[in-house]
Amino acid sequence: MGEVKLLQGNEACVFGALAAGVRFFAGYPITPSTEIANIFARELPKIGGKFMQMEDEIASIGAVIGASCTGMKAITATSGPGFSLMQENIGFAAEAEIPCVIINVMRFGPSTGLPTHPSQADFMQSRWGTHGDHPVIVIAPYTAREAYRETGRAVNFSEKYRVPVIILMDEILGHLRERVEFKEEDIVKEVNRKGPEAGVPFFPYEHTDDWIPPFANFGSGYRCHITGLIHDRTGFPTNNPEIVDQVMRRMNGKIDKHIDEICRISTVDVEDAEIVIVAFGSVARSAAEVVRIMRSMGKKIGLIRPVTLWPFPDREIKKAAEGKKAIIVPEMNLGQMVREVIRTIEGETPVHPLNRIDGELITPRDIIDFIEEME
Amino acid sequence: MGEVKLLQGNEACVFGALAAGVRFFAGYPITPSTEIANIFARELPKIGGKFMQMEDEIASIGAVIGASCTGMKAITATSGPGFSLMQENIGFAAEAEIPCVIINVMRFGPSTGLPTHPSQADFMQSRWGTHGDHPVIVIAPYTAREAYRETGRAVNFSEKYRVPVIILMDEILGHLRERVEFKEEDIVKEVNRKGPEAGVPFFPYEHTDDWIPPFANFGSGYRCHITGLIHDRTGFPTNNPEIVDQVMRRMNGKIDKHIDEICRISTVDVEDAEIVIVAFGSVARSAAEVVRIMRSMGKKIGLIRPVTLWPFPDREIKKAAEGKKAIIVPEMNLGQMVREVIRTIEGETPVHPLNRIDGELITPRDIIDFIEEME
Amino acid sequence: MAKKTFMVEVNRKTCKACGICIAFCPVSVFTTDHDDKAVVDKPERCTGCRQCELLCPDYCIRVEENSNG
Amino acid sequence: MAKKTFMVEVNRKTCKACGICIAFCPVSVFTTDHDDKAVVDKPERCTGCRQCELLCPDYCIRVEENSNG
Amino acid sequence: MGAIHEKYLRMDKLPHIWCPGCGNGIIMSSFIRAIEKLGYEKDEVAAVSGIGCSGRITGYMDFNTLHTTHGRALVFATGIKMANPGLKVFVFMGDGDAAAIGGNHLIHSCRRNIDITAIIFNNHIYGMTGGQFSPTTFRNKYATTAPYGTTDPDFDLVNLCIGAGASYVARSTSYHAKMLTDLFVAGALHKGFAVIEVITHCPVNFGRRNEFDTPADMLRWQKDHAVRTAKADMVPMEEMEGKFVIGELIKKEKPEYVEEYDRLIETVRKGDAHRE
Amino acid sequence: MGAIHEKYLRMDKLPHIWCPGCGNGIIMSSFIRAIEKLGYEKDEVAAVSGIGCSGRITGYMDFNTLHTTHGRALVFATGIKMANPGLKVFVFMGDGDAAAIGGNHLIHSCRRNIDITAIIFNNHIYGMTGGQFSPTTFRNKYATTAPYGTTDPDFDLVNLCIGAGASYVARSTSYHAKMLTDLFVAGALHKGFAVIEVITHCPVNFGRRNEFDTPADMLRWQKDHAVRTAKADMVPMEEMEGKFVIGELIKKEKPEYVEEYDRLIETVRKGDAHRE
Amino acid sequence: MNKRWEVRLIGTGGQGIVTVSIILANASVKEGNNVVQSQNYGPEVRGGYSTAYVIASNKSILYPKIDSPNVMMVMSDTSYKKYLPELAEDGMLIMNGHTEETLPDKVYFVPITDIAHDKVKRPITANIVSLGVIVGITGMVSEKTALEAMEAAVPSRALEINKKAFALGLEAGKAALENK
Amino acid sequence: MNKRWEVRLIGTGGQGIVTVSIILANASVKEGNNVVQSQNYGPEVRGGYSTAYVIASNKSILYPKIDSPNVMMVMSDTSYKKYLPELAEDGMLIMNGHTEETLPDKVYFVPITDIAHDKVKRPITANIVSLGVIVGITGMVSEKTALEAMEAAVPSRALEINKKAFALGLEAGKAALENK
Ligand SMILES: Cc1ncc(C[n+]2csc(CCOP(=O)(O)OP(=O)(O)O)c2C)c(N)n1
Ligand SMILES: Cc1ncc(C[n+]2csc(CCOP(=O)(O)OP(=O)(O)O)c2C)c(N)n1
Ligand code: SF4
Ligand code: SF4
Ligand code: SF4
Ligand code: SF4
Ligand code: SF4
Ligand code: SF4
Ligand SMILES: [Mg+2]
Ligand SMILES: [Mg+2]
């Protein structure tokens, strides 16, 4: 600790993952996430971990899930096109409740888009990209330091909650190098998935008190069955409506049950603010700058920055919005998170989207102009 | 016309597509959409059209887009897992503005789920499944007759607006056979994409008055360039922020611009209703039954059924909700469309989700019980 | 030494009446009942080749050598 | 008949200084300038083999037979 | 039901869902006999399958079992093997699973030569989805998506795998149940990626449409059309027309993937690795 | 710039984005020479590419051009050819494009034998993404994802395609520019699916990491390691070690996919089709 | 028709009851009714239970499921008592087989498989026999339209044998009705 | 340091200016500053323009982009006038090359490539020469930390030659400053 480094966002993810115990990476290169693969390829063998370059993204997430079945912590990294391809198997991981982490360094889409330009347009996809109701956690760091810490947190959540966790960054953060000084609170503590309890009959999809079933790693002597078919607590397929209802509600509900631990938002000067900006990722950097600038001009501006994007911090946003004059939601997309903000606020405060869709970061100037025009 | 038939939902899609001029199908079998492939395989060669069974769903949508580049109307059909795999290329079609239609007969997910059980849990995915901001039209029929007509409308929209159009059905409608009597209004009129205008300089991505650029089919003498990279009006890549902004706003905005034609909702007894049910697909069949039953009991219940799901009929829902006591949104998922309803209504009326997540259709009884309990 | 004899058993409950054992028993030990399930008809013919056991897709057949022929 | 002679031209604007033409001209017609771009140095040696034209990845080279040698 | 079934199958999951006479049941029997011969502990076996009738096999066998997504079994298995090389990894795939949607993973597994044994249930049809033709369906056969007979040519999976660099490829049929067991054993013992193609029969979705009245007829067809490797060379070319060879078709040494990577780790950790 | 470039290239799009000395420019030249020889109208040519440095080729050539998604060029092209068989369809892919993510489409195209000419720019590396190894990178080469040298074995694309049932497969190099033109012509004239693998050079992302100082060095390597088919049989085995054969490697008759389907249509329309 | 028919057919996979339900549905359409037909799908059904449904009514049919059928036919089970509770008030339960028990009014036993086996001499036609039985007992569609719909559904080479099966079923159904 | 440095380096792909920016950033980190470094990526950059950015400040840096740099260095262009408007008030513009013109105060011409070519005798070291020049002119980091950061960034086999390049660049930079 106290270590000071110039660290790239992509690089920080790797070291955060390693600190959390990741020992397996399988991926397929894609701009702007490639550095993550490159660095894993260099670092993993040094510590006895394994790096694989697969034939595509579908294979990458598949191998990651396979490795995770044996208890090895596993991760992959990609960007939009690859993230789209991974969707089917992300759903598998969600349904079979296999821990895994996917880093999506967002580039400008749709399709090939502008591969080297930033975007935040996978916000909705990160929640709804695969078919069927499924649980997922999505986290969006905004500095290299946070990329380190949050990737560690992502790995831990995936293990603890047996759920795919997505790190959603944008090209700017992925490629930005910045000084990072690691503090006490940045230490990533390793969390390991809960295993079967000795002496208690083991069901791999048991509806436990915390709604998280214990996981028996392949080879550990339990010989479970894991399937993407809807299954009962034994892990075997069922289509009994009553059981299906139960397992679906548990599987999806386990995240909400722990929402207090999972959700993290960060705020700047919200309390007395008249106008609140809600922003994530790199855009929140500009927004924080705006708060600094406008506060110095005597304007009462605040910032809410969801770090956990999904589950969306409904409660926190709703509370923070109370009695404000306006909410501004700047995003590098055509308006995605703003839909969630509007849904959450239910008409209590006027919500204004501010969107850039030209492949460039929203600047502090953009936001200030917007606010001034609005007033 | 006046023809009477026992028609399966899946079958009806095929005949609707053929009536709209579809002559190419490429697909990969998957329950519960397989009948669509089977019937196309039987019907297309009869009329000189072509059926291909591809190696997977990625290839299927790819071949469909390729065929469409030559001007042939093309379609594919799938279900959740395949729909997830198609996402990357759906984004390509959206970005390159190539007409195509995808039928997703929803089964219970996530992952392999319950392949033969119904679900409506791809509602959000159909809008947000691919990375990046992109336009899309999604239509949800609720009877075999409508499946016929709306598939025809989908083909026409895809041609007219150069956009991927998704038909979202569920397993129940896909497999249900029912008596259909075709009326005058069911006649599907063929709509063809706009071509280059003689004498006017041609730009394949021209920002025309109606925001829909003309399309020059491959082989027609224009030698365009089509790419999934962001491109200017000439079709060639650009990353000039000003141009990127323009083209992204046109491409995404073209759908909103024509929202009146695209959006279709159907209502039953909404005017004087105190409680309004908002439902789509097979669930709307139960909901309509509820209106019939409860009206006969003197209860003022109404139904709004979005036929076009995306763009979501914000305006219509908001208007219909005004002054109502409550809105009920029954869905065979954990609550997806209800999010849109809440967003739209902005707190004006209390909105209540009613969800079944056990692989079974929501029954009229379910809804009636819910209403009675609520009161 | 006496000729070896075998006990052949079909589990009627699990038999799916596919007809494979009947078709491939080289000495026609089996016949069918009215549900087309396999029935041991001439166990005395059995040579113990175990073809039926190997090929029954539902593991309904047991062939055992009789301890004293 | 006089020996054929050739005119060799390099488009300095489009040349990316890759060195291929220089390396593969069998008779060393080219040399480099200070930006490492190809320069026609000894055109009189040219045999018209067109190797340079074929292999230039940026189509910067034109070889033409002089009408009268 | 023999002792071997009781030992290796999840008895409470039986009867299996396969149709009367389906070859899958025979192959499963042959497979557990191979495990018995190999003497593997059930705990050290990982069985991975895709989606299809064949894919259901993992539900019935009492190993570490993983029933993945359609076509992707090999990549999950690859992750398992890399992460825990101590596990004996077997992969079960249908012809659609392995060669249609999963074709890429099949050839890449052949290339990598990772120590996994892959068993392809080639019934020349998509069984689970009700009888569409597959990339291994022969020309002019009938299927729900080929109501007039297929015009698509078919893959020879053995050639495909050999072309992709496989170090072990074998083929047999559901009729040759004993030989299957032997090939499964040989494949498992082969250091590297081993593919065993099992020509099997789907009486319901292939047979009925293609003039096989009974499952037994399909087994007879296999018997009549399979030629053992040992004999294949002696059969005149013309007579091989329409027939296929069974037995080990290639078996060669090639560095095994995980071992190579482990060697790399060792070198790097020793500091011996040359870095670019 | 010759007349041929002016005729077939989109001059306003030049200079192309390829790095100094990159082989892609040479191949593009060879290709348009082939079109000239074939005498095709520009309007009747459809050129389809995937994503990668190689994939950018379609932006520069004045045909009907389609720049698709990574690995998928062949399936788009298949749709084009099926829908409009009058078009002459050419597909351009990188080695990652064709053999990593796109491997399945490659083998299925070989199987189908659809009348498309596929040209693989095999530079043994992912150029566009900055130098990761590809499925064709030789063992022990350096790449950004192989900082200690690769442990992955490589595909022989020619064997792969032949194993998948291809009816025409040829190989040459960016050095053998004239031969390339001839092979492109022959591939185009072949009725069915034709694959031409072009061993090419990426000086920036492969060469620099693997001790090639200049693009010319890489071309020299090609020259020294390529053996023409005619000669290959005469070269002793040991001397072929590390070398590769160039020229036509397989050429055989096989029914063409679209024609077969058109025949089916005819039969069905005549009412002659036997229905199951 | 002035009634809403809710028909549930229960059998095992491969018995062809889905075909019967479609024939019934088509016949009812021919008679001018609104009709929906559906079935339970599922890999589990292979060899296991299989159920098909028909609703026919002169009113429009939206909700497509059946809660309490007024016609049930059970092909592979003879313990009728477990089905009775699901039957509508005015329902009819048709069982395949024989029984010596005295039966409630609404229950009919007809040896469908035996008829196919012994009289038609083609076990596979049991489903068409059952079609005849249903029509004979319920009269939910006329003999004529049922026969037409059946003819349109079976391959021509099997037409004669199926006609025979239908006729024998019809006869047995009528007899069962009269014996009540 | 009591100043916010916003540095923009402009060159063509392959010239190694990204490396220079990272070295500068690392050096500034060593001196205790907050630093962000970035660059324009893009396939288009291949052979075309390439730009790298460094911001260094003793305050925290959030917004990571540069609007008006106070240090600009241009490697592949000599028409300095087009860059002047983008420069901050107190900015310094460093051009690679010679000029005979009389220059505004803030503009410095240093023959970077020529130094690498003629004096270091390794054209590839031009970027490290430029590093020296920047440090010499701006003093945004000390010679010592710049040298340390450079040493950590280059492969050891190329260390000596790069040290030489750095020294020559530094010298040229200082000279340019003094000649103002
Ligand atoms: C992505 C995806 N596409 C399609 C399907 C539907 N599907 C399930 S099994 C199958 C093919 C079955 O054929 P095969 O692999 O040969 O296995 P078999 O049933 O014959 O054993 C298909 C297409 C699926 N589950 N997932
Ligand atoms: C789905 C997807 N995954 C990854 C990428 C990133 N990507 C772009 S090009 C490329 C590989 C380039 O290598 P190759 O195909 O050999 O072409 P080259 O650049 O060498 O010509 C990759 C991985 C992408 N665009 N889409
Ligand atoms: S063991 Fe052989 S002989 Fe005996 S019953 Fe079985 S198949 Fe017939
Ligand atoms: S092989 Fe088995 S399932 Fe088939 S008939 Fe014989 S005993 Fe029955
Ligand atoms: S044509 Fe041949 S000889 Fe003449 S310059 Fe070019 S390479 Fe040299
Ligand atoms: S080959 Fe072309 S680009 Fe390369 S140096 Fe010669 S002229 Fe310049
Ligand atoms: S459909 Fe075919 S493969 Fe599947 S279980 Fe039935 S017989 Fe076997
Ligand atoms: S990176 Fe390699 S393949 Fe790509 S343009 Fe540069 S030299 Fe060519
Ligand atoms: Mg199969
Ligand atoms: Mg490449």
Report chain F residues whose CB lies below 8 A from the CB of A29: 126, 129-130, 132, 145
Q: Which H or E run contains A331?
A: strand A326-331
Chains in contact with G, where contact means 3 or more Cβ–Cβ distances below 8 Å, are B, E
Q: Is the distance from CB of A278 to CB of A318 less than 8 angstroms?
A: no
Report residue C69's pLDDT band, with 50, 70 and 90 as the boundaries: very low
For the Cβ of E27 lying below 6 angstroms from any atom of ligand 7, the answer is no
Q: Do E1 and C19 touch (CB under 8 A)?
A: no
Q: Hey, which residues 13-32 in chain E have their CB within 8 Å of chain C?
A: 14-16, 18-26, 29-30
Closest C-alpha among H133, H119, H161 to residue H23: H133
Q: Is A297 exposed, middle or buried (0-12, 13-18, 19+ CB in 10 A)?
A: exposed
Ligand 8 nearest atom to the CA of residue F17, by list position: 5
Give per-residue pLDDT as tens, H100-115. Answer: 888 899 999 999 999 9
Query: What does the pLDDT read at residue H40?
Result: 86
Give per-residue pLDDT as tens, F171-216. Answer: 999 999 999 999 999 999 999 999 999 999 999 999 999 999 999 9
Query: What does the pLDDT read at residue A135?
Result: 98
Question: Measured at the alpha carbon of residue E148, what is the angle toward residues E147 and E153, in degrees to the nearest 5?
Answer: 100
Confidence check: pLDDT of H45 > 70: no
Q: Which residue has the higher pLDDT, A23 or G157?
A: A23
> How high does pLDDT run on average in chain E?
96
Give per-residue pLDDT as tens, A87-102. Answer: 999 999 999 999 999 9
Does B363 reach chain G within 8 Å, measured CB to CB?
yes
Does some domain include residue E276?
no
Q: Which two tokens stand for residue G101?
A: 């028990």
Q: Shortest Cα distance from E129 to chain G (angstroms)?
A: 9
Sole residue written with tokens 């997806």? B336
Cis peptide, bond prior to residue G104, ω within 30 of zero: no
Closest C-alpha among B33, B93, B30, B29 to residue B61: B93
Q: How many angstroms separate the alpha carbon of residue E176 from the centre of ligand 8?
A: 53
Span F96-104, mean pLDDT? 98
Q: How many angstroms separate the alpha carbon of residue F175 from the centre of ligand 8?
A: 16
Pocket perturbation via mutation, ligand 2, pick of A28, A30, A84 by most ligand atoms within 8 A of CB: A30
Q: Do B176 and G36 touch (CB under 8 A)?
A: yes
Percent of chain G with pLDDT over 70: 95
Confidence check: pLDDT of A346 > 70: yes
Q: Do H62 and A285 touch (CB under 8 A)?
A: yes
Span B49-65, mean pLDDT? 98
Span A216-241, mean pLDDT? 97
Q: Do A176 and H38 touch (CB under 8 A)?
A: yes
Q: Do A91 and B84 touch (CB under 8 A)?
A: yes
Q: Which domains does chain B have, with CATH numbers?
A: 4-186 (3.40.50.970), 266-374 (3.40.50.920)
Interface test with E, best of A131, A227, A232, A236 (most E CBs within 10 A): A227
Query: What does the pLDDT read at residue G67?
Result: 85
Confidence check: pLDDT of H44 > 60: no
Q: Which H or E run contains B190?
A: none
Does some domain include residue F19?
yes
Q: Do G43 and E18 touch (CB under 8 A)?
A: no
Sole residue written with tokens 């105190």? B274
Give per-residue pLDDT as tens, B319-349. Answer: 999 999 999 999 999 999 999 999 999 999 9
Output DSSP code: residue E58. G
Choose the closest CB to E79 out of A46, A63, A92: A63
Q: How many angstroms separate the alpha carbon of residue F55 from the centre of ligand 10?
A: 10
Does some domain include residue F274?
no
Q: Give the distance from CA B309 to its chain's centroid.
A: 7
Does some domain include residue D30?
yes
For the Cβ of E9 lying below 6 angstroms from any atom of ligand 7, the answer is no
Confidence check: pLDDT of G41 > 80: no
Q: How many angstroms separate the alpha carbon of residue D21 from the centre of ligand 6?
A: 6
Confidence check: pLDDT of G163 > 60: yes
Report residue G44's pLDDT band, with 50, 70 and 90 as the boundaries: very low
Does some domain include residue E274?
no
Report chain H residues whose CB lies below 8 A from the CB of A6: 22, 25-26, 29, 35, 37
Alpha helices by DSSP H, D1-69: 20-24, 51-55
Alpha-carbon distance values, E95 to A55, B238, E248 (Å): 20, 44, 19
Confidence check: pLDDT of D25 > 60: yes
Q: Hey, which residues 83-112 in chain A have their CB within 8 Å of chain B?
A: 83-85, 87-88, 91-92, 94-96, 106, 108-112
Q: Which domains does chain H have, with CATH numbers?
A: 4-178 (3.40.920.10)
Choose the closest CB to E25 out of C19, C53, C57: C57
Does some domain include residue E124?
yes
How many domains, in total, are found in chain D?
A: 1
Q: How many angstroms separate the alpha carbon of residue E70 from the centre of ligand 1?
A: 6
Question: Rounded to an integer, what distance in angstroms lies between the CA atom of residue A74 and that of residue A67?
Answer: 7
Does some domain include residue C23?
yes
Q: Which residues line ligand 8 (CB under 6 A)?
A: F 18-19, 22, 24, 53, 123, 127, 202-205
Q: Supply the range of the domain harboring residue E147.
A: 3-269
Confidence check: pLDDT of B231 > 70: yes
Helix (H, G, I), strand (E, B) or coil at A236: coil
Does E17 reach chain G within 8 Å, measured CB to CB?
yes
Choose the closest CB to E126 out of B29, B51, B81: B29
The CATH code of the domain that includes D35 is 3.30.70.20
Report residue E235's pLDDT band, with 50, 70 and 90 as the boundaries: confident
Report chain F residues whose CB lies below 8 A from the CB of A30: 129
Q: Which two tokens stand for residue C62?
A: 């047991």
Q: Is the distance from CB of B276 to CB of B320 less than 8 angstroms?
A: yes
Q: Which ligand has its closest atom nearest to the C-alpha of E16?
A: 7
Helix (H, G, I), strand (E, B) or coil at B197: coil
Does some domain include residue D27?
yes
How many domains, in total, are found in chain F?
A: 1
pTM comes to 0.98
Instruction: Read off the amino acid at residue A48.
Output: G
Q: Which residues line ligand 6 (CB under 6 A)?
A: D 10, 15-21, 37-38, 56, 58, 60-61
Q: Supply the range of the domain harboring residue C48.
A: 6-65
Of B310-324, H43-57, H65-79, the range with the lowest mean pLDDT is H43-57
Q: Which two tokens stand for residue G24?
A: 């019934």
Pocket perturbation via mutation, ligand 1, pick of E24, E28, E49, E51 by most ligand atoms within 8 A of CB: E51
Q: Do B66 and F66 touch (CB under 8 A)?
A: yes
Q: How many angstroms separate the alpha carbon of residue B26 from the centre of ligand 1?
A: 16
Q: Is the distance from CB of B346 to CB of A346 less than 8 angstroms?
A: yes
Strands (E), F38-115: 45-49, 64-67, 88-94
Closest C-alpha among B212, B129, B219, B203 to residue B163: B212
Report residue E127's pLDDT band, with 50, 70 and 90 as the boundaries: very high
> How high does pLDDT run on average in chain F?
96
Interface test with G, best of E14, E16, E17 (most G CBs within 10 A): E17
Report residue E59's pLDDT band, with 50, 70 and 90 as the boundaries: very high
Question: Measured at the alpha carbon of residue F137, what is the angle toward residues F132 and F143, in degrees to the nearest 5?
Answer: 30
Confidence check: pLDDT of H139 > 70: yes
Query: What does the pLDDT read at residue G46?
Result: 60
Query: What does the pLDDT read at residue G45?
Result: 43
Dihedral, CA of residue B219, residue B220, residue B221 and residue B225, to nearest 10: -70
Span E8-32, mean pLDDT? 97
Question: Measured at the alpha carbon of residue B26, what is the angle toward residues B23 and B32, in degrees to the nearest 5?
Answer: 110
> How high does pLDDT run on average in chain A?
97
Give per-residue pLDDT as tens, A297-318. Answer: 999 999 999 999 999 999 999 9
Dihedral, CA of residue H90, residue H96, residue H101 and residue H105, to nearest 10: 10
Q: How many helices (H) and strands (E) does chain G have?
A: 5, 6
Closest C-alpha among E77, E56, B111, B108 to residue A228: B111
Question: Rounded to an integer, what distance in angstroms lies between the CA atom of residue B336 and that of residue H16?
Answer: 51
Choose the closest CB to B178 out of G36, G39, G67: G36
Kindly list the strands in the beta sheet with B326-331, ordered across the sheet, starting from the edge strand earlier in the chain: B265-268, B301-306, B275-278, B326-331, B351-355
Q: Which two tokens stand for residue D19?
A: 């060195």
For the Cβ of B28 lying below 6 angstroms from any atom of ligand 1, the answer is yes
